Amino acid sequence: MTAPLSPGFVNGEVSFWYRSLGVPAPGEPLGGDLQADVAVVGAGYTGLWTAYYLKKADPSLRVVVLEKQFAGFGASGRNGGWLTGALAGSPERYAKTHGRDGARRLQRAMFEAVDEVIRVAGEEGIDADIVKGGLLTVARGPAQDLRLREELTGQRAWGWDAADVRLLTRDEMDDRLRVAGATGATWSPHCARIQPAKLVRGLARAVRDLGVEICEQTPVTEIAPGRAVTPYGTVRADHVLRCTEGFTATIAGHHRDWLPMNSSMIVTEPLPEGVWAEIGWQGRELLGDMAHYYMYAQRTADDRIAFGGRGRPYLYGSRVDERGRTHDWTVDALWDLLVSFFPAVAGSRVEHAWSGVLGVPRDWCSAVHVDPATGLGWAGGYTGHGVTTTNLAGRTLCDLVLRRDTELTRMPWVDRRVRAWEPEPLRWLGVHSMYRLYRLADARERRGMTRTSVLARIADKITGH
């Protein structure tokens, strides 16, 4: 179905989240060579949280952030606003090096990081429309239902009890949110709704207030031990930290580190009371499903639905989109899915569509690293779970730079080594086959399969998901 677009429909222009704030006019670029203690490349959540904790720990440090566009231009200003305690990738992979206890510590730290972001936002006066309503994961149909229950069993085996995640009864589910075709749901308290651009812009302001210099319109063309090179000068620093997640493939020497995965969103116009009366959603929970080609959604502070999923998952040669323009068929596909979830929305219109890139490592698990010998460091590969993970990453990079031996620096994701993605055309073929198979698997399951389609299992094998 063709999505009904409102007269003021906008495609791209970074994201809907900047509509109320205005797309920022980029600040001044780097004014020439300078010497710093820490140079941070990229002013998304990772770079800004790192700068924040470094300055809090040692106000005398000179920290310079180099950003090729403006602070919050990347995924940090475009995401679905799930401040989620979910860990990227499978806990088994983190357990390989640090045992099950290590993986559990990392998961617990993720749960706590949700509250840490909320705490700092409160302390710094950042109003990011935060509501900690938890995460509602719905199953639609028997195969998804089975996966939901299997996932819950897995979580219990890892030691997470009903205080962390629990199955809802039909009445509890309907009390919260009425999703057409829902056959089951879990709810976890470890998730909060945010307005992503408000968080990243607020954080940039807080970091500047602490004395960090953020140089915008300043692309870094070379990262090497002791220096970050830009067209406007070179920043020399003991530590140079790469915080460019989905854009990392565009940096020389890092083309195959993390796959730039595309994610797309649409947002409706504000919905009338009658629609909310049918849907519910008074608790502002974040909403996800158990499809292979999964969706994610939030009810915004101004009563719209922001609804995301995979559009065109990956561009050949790891190209990254820049300003978020989204294909018409992706807008239509997201609209179809949204209306299938909430038929009451059918009479409203889409007001904005946008896309962005996130970073996916070959084993789908995140990592943080600082090499004490060269002073080079990085964090990322959050595979769509970066809103909270970046906070943990920022605190961890801070401790690693300051050479502190802490609970954070002993986490299993520190110094993880992962192999590179395959060269093209294998990379493109692998990712596109995976998503094609996922789409087919979802279609089969929708026709009433009671178990996970074998096609999805093949897709998982192909990409090591």
Ligand X SMILES: Cc1cc2nc3c(=O)[nH]c(=O)nc-3n(C[C@H](O)[C@H](O)[C@H](O)COP(=O)(O)OP(=O)(O)OC[C@H]3O[C@@H](n4cnc5c(N)ncnc54)[C@H](O)[C@@H]3O)c2cc1C
Contact status: 76 vs ligand X (CB under 6 A):
yes
What is residue 189's DSSP assignment? S
Angle (CA) 315 318 320, round 5°: 70
- Please count the residues of this chain forming the interface with ligand X, following the rule CB under 6 A: 45
Phi/psi for 374 (5° steps) reads -100, -20
- Tell me which residue has its CB nearest to ligand X: 386
Q: Are 444 and 455 in contact (CB under 8 A)?
A: yes
Least distance in Å: CB of 356 to ligand X? 3
What is residue 249's DSSP assignment? G
Phi/psi for 405 (5° steps) reads -95, 100
Residues 176-235 that bind ligand X (CB under 6 A): 219-220
Count Cβ neighbours within 10 Å for each residue of 231-262 and write b for 16 or more, e otherwise: ebbbbebebbbbbbbbbbbbbeebbbbbbbbb
User: Which 3 state secondary structure label does DSSP give 412?
Assistant: coil
Contact status: 73 vs ligand X (CB under 6 A):
yes
From residue 341 to residue 380, what is the string marking binding to ligand X with x (rule CB under 6 A)? ---------------xxx---------------------x
- List the one residue from 10, 18, 40, 42 that touches ligand X (CB under 6 A): 42
Contact status: 82 vs ligand X (CB under 6 A):
yes
Nearer to ligand X, 19 or 96 (CB): 19
Contact status: 308 vs ligand X (CB under 6 A):
yes
Q: Which residue type sits at 402?
A: L
Nearer to ligand X, 264 or 452 (CB): 264
DSSP string of 420-440, one letter each residue? PPPPTTHHHHHHHHHHHHHHH
- Beta strand pairing call for 34-41 and 233-242: parallel
With CB under 6 A as the contact rule, which of the stretches 32-40, 68-76, 92-100, 449-457 interacts with ligand X?
A: 68-76
- List the one residue from 41, 63, 297, 411 that touches ligand X (CB under 6 A): 41
Least distance in Å: CB of 262 to ligand X? 7
Q: Residue 69 and residue 26: Cα distance in Å, rounded?
A: 7
User: Residue 318 region, left (φ>0) first, then alpha (ψ -120 to 50), else beta?
Assistant: left
Q: Residue 26 and residue 221: Cα distance in Å, rounded?
A: 19
Q: Which residue type sits at 159?
A: G
Q: Are 215 and 29 in contact (CB under 8 A)?
A: yes
Least distance in Å: CB of 29 to ligand X? 11
Contact status: 64 vs ligand X (CB under 6 A):
no
Angle (CA) 229 211 386, round 5°: 70
Contact status: 106 vs ligand X (CB under 6 A):
no
Least distance in Å: CB of 78 to ligand X? 5
- List the one residue from 18, 45, 52, 438 that touches ligand X (CB under 6 A): 45
Least distance in Å: CB of 137 to ligand X? 13
DSSP string of 333-387, one letter each residue? HHHHHHHHH-GGGGGS-EEEEEEEEEEEETTS--EEEE-TTT-EEEEE--TT-HH
Nearer to ligand X, 266 or 344 (CB): 266
Nearer to ligand X, 358 or 455 (CB): 358
Least distance in Å: CB of 341 to ligand X? 17
Least distance in Å: CB of 34 to ligand X? 16
Least distance in Å: CB of 177 to ligand X? 17
Contact status: 243 vs ligand X (CB under 6 A):
yes
User: Which 3 state secondary structure label does DSSP give 180?
Assistant: coil
Least distance in Å: CB of 307 to ligand X? 11
Nearer to ligand X, 139 or 261 (CB): 261
- List the one residue from 11, 79, 107, 234 that touches ligand X (CB under 6 A): 79
Q: What is the CA radius of gyration of the chain?
A: 21
- List the one residue from 3, 63, 66, 207 that touches ligand X (CB under 6 A): 66
- List the one residue from 46, 326, 348, 453 that touches ligand X (CB under 6 A): 46
Point out which residues bind ligand X (CB under 6 A). Answer: 41-47, 66-69, 73-76, 78-82, 84, 219-220, 243-247, 250-251, 263, 265, 296, 308, 356-358, 380, 382, 384-388, 390
